[in-house]
Amino acid sequence: MMNKLIAIYKYKSHVVEGELSGGAYFLMSMLSEDGPLEKNLLDKISNDFFLVSSTVGEDYGPFESLEDLSKFCFSICTELKSPYVTLHSLEEFNALIEKSANLTELLSDLQSEGNLLENVAITQKKSLMQRVFDRV
Amino acid sequence: MEDLSTDKRYSLSLTTPVARDADAVFPGENWFLYWKTSSSLWKSKLEEFSKGVKILVPINWAFHSDTGDNYDFAETKPETDLKKLFNIAGELGKELIFLMPITPVPFLPNGGIPHLLARSIALNSEGMAYGIVDNEENLHKLFSFYDPRVFQAYSKFCAKFGQYISEQGISCDIYGYVSGRMEKEEYVSFVDDHSQVFDQAFGRFLRARAENQQTDFKGIESLEEESLVKAEFKNTISSLYQDSLSSSVSANWEGVLEFSFLGSSSRDLLNRMSGNDHTSDYSHDISTIIGKGFIPSSILLPQRKKKGVLGRQLVEMVNNTLVGQKLALDDAYEREGVQFSFLNTFNLVQLDTRKNKWNDFGLVNYLDSTYHNCFSYLNEESFSWNEETPIEEQFYFVLGRELDEKKFRTILKIFMNGGKVILDNSDLDITLKRRLESFFLENNLEVEKVNFLTDVSYTHLGEGQLVVFNGEKLSTRSSNDRYNFWLKLIGTFEIQHIIVEASDQLEYFWRTRNSSTNELNYEEVRRVSVYNPTSYKKKFRLKFAKNFALLKIIDEINCNVTSQPHEVTGELLPDGSVSVDFGVFS
């Protein structure tokens, strides 16, 4: 079952007068079992993050650190009451594309690999329910 | 849930999907994938095509050359015997068209190149590796055509292929074909690459360019300049592949066809991963692709997606209309006749595909709402003067900034021969501006000037009409104002057209044909075909003036249509479609 959100992000360097000058992270896409998430949902959550410019082209950001990006993704996870979100950098995603022979393999790898964030409010709640049923 | 046929891709597949012929050998739009079946079955397979249909046969480079150095044309694998295939088609009275790729192709492993050459995966403009899902859910990676080794092997293969068809006396037409997809309503070829391989090749190009110009290489000084030079480089490489092919098969060479593959965009990959690719999206994509002048291909979609309304739309619009139209472009005899072709009244000249100024001027929005699917874009190649092209009822929208001497002469020829030209004079070269003024004076043309939301001038010569307007000034207006501008301007031409009021997400296409011998009351016959690719009931209404006569309502599927004087109303259930024919007379 596709019980994980899948997030793909990238790092963009800033170039000032021909020199690299830091960079930022951008969320490229977030996928649920209903497909890519709607822009209005991401807009709503990005407003809560007070992003200066919530979108650059189609990407959401900029996030100064991977930690900030992870928090943003986790907020989406919470909003959608999803138990997990896996984060993949663009490089990791591309490696999975190269490796996978078919769509099923790609989806399986996207769910099982990457940086996994657990929404314990959902996962522990299930465990609690299980415990209740066990008692009964 | 919008799409009745959506299946959720949320479990690992427990069984291996069995490929059926309809998906494997005949993936769609009269394509025949000869390598997917035994050569001993070719005859029975080709017999399944209807009489008179042109069979499109894409040549599988990697199938004939697995390493890039050796070649197989019936030496080893019987399925490489193209001469046998050609002969069988001849015996059955079928016409084959060979298609040779001049870009990576999305429906073959490694994008169609021999596996030993598949080293540098190509990246799209977002830096994402190209991963295309085919109709059997295989994931194909595309590799860079900017790799010199790929080009060298391609050239050798073209030479070998050309030699083979010449020696074997294979006389069928050969087209080069470009493979691409729609990304945010713009066409992007799969040759588009943003990988390191591209960057290295571009670097070599810049150095060679500097050496040719005998200047010191100072580097690119602005993003705008970089964009222009990159476009020049990409065109150069594309031309190399095309020239390599055309020179090798010169006797059979017919030109280039450009296909846009449904289900191959970045949006589609994400949707297909979660099983959320909707028929309505593909249905809309077909409209966009045809409007942009490309040929939709559904061969990446499984047959189950094409069973209902999408399949009918593809058969009627692509198989039965567009492909024939594209293949008959140079054949005046084939063009005239009682076959339907798309009703195309408005031609938007757009030479710089990086930005759509007609969108900024509000023209696309207006045409889409009032003359849906009755307009198309012309590029560098397709915008030209041809005495045989009927232009009297045609409108040409031209950007002054894109005009050079040759194109300027083209618009004057169109005007003088009865066509309608609407010219945006923003950034029109000063020399051409003066030439235009001289032209008016020399021909004693009366020029009327008016200010309606922007500066507009109008003149006519016989049937020809020329409107000049200031687009930049217009683009500063509100979207309502811009819409009203075009409503007013185009309204003055009193174009004969049937008003269509259609619910959101209904797709409809207009086609036209000459009247047949028993329809001599009419100058032409027009057909509107309406499709409902959604899961909801949708309505439409056609309002027509006195010079249109309702002829017949046909191909009704899941619909309820009623007619009244000067009006036809219809209700389409999910997956419904219908066509309505009108006779047109003065």
For chain A, the structural domain boundaries read 4-135
pLDDT at A127 over 80: no
Mean of the per-residue pLDDT values for chain B? 89
For residues B521-526, average pLDDT? 91
Are B262 and B533 contacting, i.e. CB atoms less than 8 angstroms apart?
Answer: no
What pLDDT is recorded for position B14?
A: 36
Q: Is there a contact between B139 and A35 if contact means CB atoms under 8 Å apart?
A: no
pLDDT at A1 over 60: no
What pLDDT is recorded for position B23?
A: 67
Task: Tell me how far apart the alpha carbons of residues B5 and B563 are, in angstroms, rounded to a whole number.
Answer: 32
What pLDDT is recorded for position B6?
A: 39
DSSP B304: G
pLDDT in tens, B457-498: 999 999 999 999 999 999 999 999 999 999 999 999 989 899
Are B545 and B526 contacting, i.e. CB atoms less than 8 angstroms apart?
Answer: no
Kindly calculate the radius of gyration of chain A based on its CA atoms and give it in whole angstroms. 17
Contacts of A92 in chain B (CB under 8 A): none
**Interchain contact A17–B (C-beta under 8 A):** no
Are B310 and B279 contacting, i.e. CB atoms less than 8 angstroms apart?
Answer: yes
Give CA torsion, residues B490, B491, B496, B498, to 10 deg. Answer: 100
pLDDT at B387 over 70: yes
Which residues fall within 8 angstroms of residue B100, CB to CB, at 6 or more apart? B58, B59, B158, B161, B174, B175, B176, B177, B245, B249
What pLDDT is recorded for position A66?
A: 92
Candidates A27, A97, A109, partner chain B, best to mutate (most B CBs within 10 A): A97
Are B272 and B199 contacting, i.e. CB atoms less than 8 angstroms apart?
Answer: no
What pLDDT is recorded for position B112?
A: 96
DSSP chain A: ---EEEEEEEEEEEEETTEEEEEEEEEEEEEETTEEPPHHHHHHHHHHTT-SSSEETTEEEEESSHHHHHHHHHHHHHHTT-SEEEEEEHHHHHHHHHH-SBHHHHHHHHHHSSEEEE-HHHHHHHHHHHHHHHH-
Q: Which residues pair with B581 in a beta bridge?
A: B527, B552
Q: Where would I find the H helices in B258-322?
A: 266-273, 279-291, 309-313
DSSP B130-148: -EEE-TT-BEEE-B-TT-H
**Interchain contact A82–B (C-beta under 8 A):** no
Residue B276, φ and ψ in degrees, nearest 5: -115, 30
Our CA-based measurement puts residue B8 at a distance from the nearest CA of chain A, in whole angstroms, of: 8
Report percent pLDDT > 90 for chain B. Answer: 74
pLDDT at B331 over 60: no
**Interchain contact A94–B (C-beta under 8 A):** yes
For B269, which residue in chain A has the nearest alpha carbon?
Answer: A103
Joined together, the tokens standing for residue A28 give 């490229």
Contacts of B273 in chain A (CB under 8 A): 31, 103, 106-107, 110
What pLDDT is recorded for position A19?
A: 62
pLDDT in tens, A19-32: 667 889 999 999 99
- Name the pLDDT band for B333 (thresholds 50, 70, 90): very low
Which residues fall within 8 angstroms of residue B287, CB to CB, at 6 or more apart? B372, B373, B507, B509
Candidates A82, A92, A104, A111, partner chain B, best to mutate (most B CBs within 10 A): A104
Which residues fall within 8 angstroms of residue B407, CB to CB, at 6 or more apart? B349, B383, B398
pLDDT at B4 over 50: no
What pLDDT is recorded for position B295?
A: 96
- Name the pLDDT band for B15 (thresholds 50, 70, 90): very low
Task: Tell me how far apart the alpha carbons of residues B176 and B240 are, in angstroms, rounded to a whole number.
Answer: 12
pLDDT at B144 over 80: yes
- Name the pLDDT band for B391 (thresholds 50, 70, 90): confident
What pLDDT is recorded for position A136?
A: 43
Task: Closest CB to B273: pick one of A10, A94, A103.
Answer: A103
- Which domains, from first to last, does chain B contain? 21-191+239-335 (3.20.20), 346-491 (3.40.980), 499-584 (2.60.40)
What pLDDT is recorded for position B326?
A: 86
pLDDT in tens, B211-249: 877 555 566 677 788 888 898 899 999 999 999 999 999
- Name the pLDDT band for B338 (thresholds 50, 70, 90): low
Joined together, the tokens standing for residue B318 give 């692509």
Measured CB to CB, residues of chain B less than 8 Å from chain A are: 8-13, 121, 123, 126-131, 133, 137-139, 141, 267, 270-274, 276
Are A35 and A80 contacting, i.e. CB atoms less than 8 angstroms apart?
Answer: no
Task: Closest CB to B270: pick one of A29, A101, A104.
Answer: A29
Which residues fall within 8 angstroms of residue B16, CB to CB, at 6 or more apart? none
Task: Tell me how far apart the alpha carbons of residues B553 and B568 are, in angstroms, rounded to a whole number.
Answer: 10
pLDDT at B11 over 50: no
What pLDDT is recorded for position B351?
A: 87
- Name the pLDDT band for B275 (thresholds 50, 70, 90): confident
User: For residue B439, how many C-alpha atoms fall within 13 Å in the half-sphere facing its CB?
Assistant: 17
What pLDDT is recorded for position B210?
A: 84
Number of residues that this document lists for chain A: 136
For residues A93-115, average pLDDT? 94
- Name the pLDDT band for B103 (thresholds 50, 70, 90): very high
Q: Is there a contact between A2 and B10 if contact means CB atoms under 8 Å apart?
A: yes
pLDDT in tens, A2-20: 678 999 999 988 766 566 6
Place of tokens 């000034």: B473
Joined together, the tokens standing for residue B416 give 């003088």
Taking alpha carbons only, the member of B86, B42, B41, B35 closest to residue B62 is B35
DSSP B461-523: ETTEEEEEE-HHHHHTS-HHHHHHHHHHHHHTT-----EEEE-TT-EEEEEEEE--GGGTT-S
Q: Of B2-16, B42-56, B326-340, which gets the smallest average pLDDT? A: B2-16
pLDDT at B367 over 90: yes
Are B525 and B582 contacting, i.e. CB atoms less than 8 angstroms apart?
Answer: yes
